[in-house]
Each structure stands twice: as structure tokens, then as C-alpha cells.
Amino acid sequence: MVFVQVRVEPMMADARVFLVAGALLCFGGSLVSVYVAVTHDPNRKEDRALLKRGEYLAGGSVVGALVMMYLIMRR
């Protein structure tokens, strides 16, 4: 029995799709966090929880962008 090893190189299109999808998700997260910050009043007690979630979403989009940059640059 003969086994043939085939070396498969990663396709460039895969990295591009990953990059575009990640960038769109980061951009969408930033837009949603700005929308939450603009439409809710920080002086109202019931809006403070939503504002905190908006801040978490903004931080998550920044962390996602950094992770995406790291993954693309290490190849």
C-alpha cells in the first residue's frame, strides 16, 4: 500500500474572505455601540445597563479587530 502525501497550501481567497468578514463584523459592532450611546440617556437609571452593554460591544469590536490583525499578520 502506497500513501501519497499531498501538501495543500492555504488559498489566498480564504484569508481575504476572513479579513472582509471580520472587518464587517467589527464595523457593525462599532456602529451598534455608537447607536446605543447616541440614543440612550446616561442620566436615566434604566438606560445605564444598555450603555454598559454598548461599551462592552465597542470593546469587543476593538479586540476582534486586533485578533483579526494578529491572525492575518502571522501567516
Tens-level pLDDT at each residue, the chain (75 residues): 666 776 656 556 667 777 788 888 888 888 888 898 899 888 999 888 888 888 888 888 888 888 887 877 775
CA distances to 4, 51, 53 from 43, rounded to whole Å, are 68, 11, 16
Q: Tell me if 2 is assigned to some domain.
A: no
Domain span at 23 = 15-74
Q: Tell me if 1 is assigned to some domain.
A: no
- How many structural domains does the chain have? 1
All three cell numbers of 56, joined, read: 462592552
Q: Tell me if 6 is assigned to some domain.
A: no
CA distances to 9, 16, 19, 22 from 12, rounded to whole Å, are 9, 6, 11, 15
pTM: 0.65
| CB burial string 34-72: b at 16+ within 10 A, e below | eebeeebeeeeeeeeeebeebeebbeebeeebeebeeee
